[in-house]
Amino acid sequence: MTTPLKHGPPTAIEPQPSFDGVDLQALAARLGTPLYAYSASAIRQRIGELQAALAGLDATLCYAVKANSNRAILALMAAAGLGADIVSAGELQRALAAGIPPDRIVFSGVGKTDEEIGAALAAGIARFNVESLDELHAIERVAQARQAMARAAVRINPDVDALTHAKISTGRAENKFGVSIAEARRWFAERRQLQHVQLDGLHVHIGSQILDLTPFRLALHRVAAFWRELEQAGHPVASIDVGGGLGVRYRAGHDTPVAAADYAQVIREALAGFGGRLLLEPGRYLVAEAGVLLTRVLRIKEGTERRFLVLDAAMNDLQRPSLYDAWHDIVPVASTEGPAATYDIVGPVCETGDTFARARVLPECRPGDLLAIQGTGAYGASMASTYNSRPLAAEVLLDHGRYAVIRRRQTLEEMVAGEQSAQDWATP
């Protein structure tokens, strides 16, 4: 038996008819859906807020490329004087191609290959954030073969609970990232044995989407104590990378992000007296709220217990709800005065996990209605796939009433371009 449609009073949800001065209905009509749209103005504003908060400090912002690696976004970062935090050779190439200077690039990640280390050395990046003793030896070996000198920072795992989702928490002892302070202490004690690695930095990153200053404060005070210990032992520390992790508002009336000025004050207090360079790795904070995913309603399906709003966007376009049970506000683009209805909002992919929201209240929808999934500028398109042979969505950059396509919609021919029949057989 199908559950009857329950009408409620009009919702208080604010529609989003435009973004950065661009009419979203007209944009979707011209370019189709699903469609990622990013506001250049919003990104510049966030960059400016963080730069203002850090005024007077010797600090370099290294944008976390993984958040959104589109070259047009990276070019915005380069134009604002930012560096890059990378985790692969592909991100290195993207950053360099977008105009980010190599001496503003830091290389993080637990699984750097010899080839990636070599490429980073050849490019002349600022430093490596080293995650294990084996990696430190690998950098020494590759640098020796190239007769190069690598600069490195040890990533400290301070065993601090970031109070965030378990899958994006990176600073606990059980996480795969970084090493204990005890192990880092041994690295510095033996650093003079390294002939091609200059170990003179510290790095900490405890997780993402952090909405409380307490974890930052605790982690940085532990790093600061270790920095002072090292200095007293005769091991100079030239840089401290405080990571990223600043949270954003995904859910109106629920998420309260940390103010940039308050975050900067925690850094100032914890690292007071430090004379070297500070590095920061903002990613989500700069781009998440600057993006929306435009999607149309395909149909309304009446289940026996749930009412499903089926969209043309799917989990392959935006994985966060499926992967992290993440909340994204979803609003109509057009203004409506209709009654409210409750929907499970889903995509067409053949997975139960292809669900954007459960029991979400919206103005009553009809097929063809345009919706905006908000807060999708970070870890949206950068995590997308072609699962179910669905082409990658187009991306556009908006800027004061104008737009530019920064990635065209993938065609089926482009999707299968690297595939071929098994004709040329060989043995290894």
Q: Residue 4: what pLDDT?
A: 39
Contact 271, 220 (CB under 8 A): yes
Give residue-wise pLDDT tens across range 228-243. Answer: 999 999 999 999 999 9
In percent, the amount of the chain with pLDDT more than 70 equals: 93
Which of 350, 418, 423, 427 is an active site residue?
A: 350
Least confident of 178-182, 286-290, 343-347: 178-182
Query: In this model, does residue 306 exceed pLDDT 70?
Result: yes
The model carries a pTM of 0.93
Q: What would be the CATH architecture of the domain defined by 18-38+289-409?
A: Beta Barrel (2.40)
pLDDT at 80: 98
167, 323 contact by CB (below 8 A): yes
Q: Are strands 402-407 and 330-332 parallel, antiparallel or unpaired?
A: unpaired
How do the domains of the chain map onto residue ranges? 18-38+289-409, 109-280
Cβ distance 76 to 40 under 8 Å? yes
- Check residue 171 and give its pLDDT: 41
Measured CA to CA in angstroms, residue 114 lies from 21, 121, 131 at distances of 46, 10, 14
Question: Residue 44's pLDDT is what?
Answer: 98
- Confirm whether 62 is a catalytic residue: no
Q: For 368-374, what is the mean pLDDT?
A: 98
User: Would you place residue 6 in the very low, low, confident or very high pLDDT band (cuts 50, 70, 90)?
Assistant: very low
Is the pLDDT at 3 greater than 50? The verdict is no
pLDDT digits (tens, 9 = 90+) for 125-150: 999 999 999 999 999 999 999 999 99
Separation of alpha carbons 85 and 75, rounded Å = 14
207: confidence class by pLDDT, cuts 50, 70, 90: confident
The pLDDT assigned to 208 comes to 87
Fold (topology level) of 109-280: TIM Barrel (3.20.20)
pLDDT number for residue 160 = 74
What rounded mean pLDDT belongs to the chain? 93
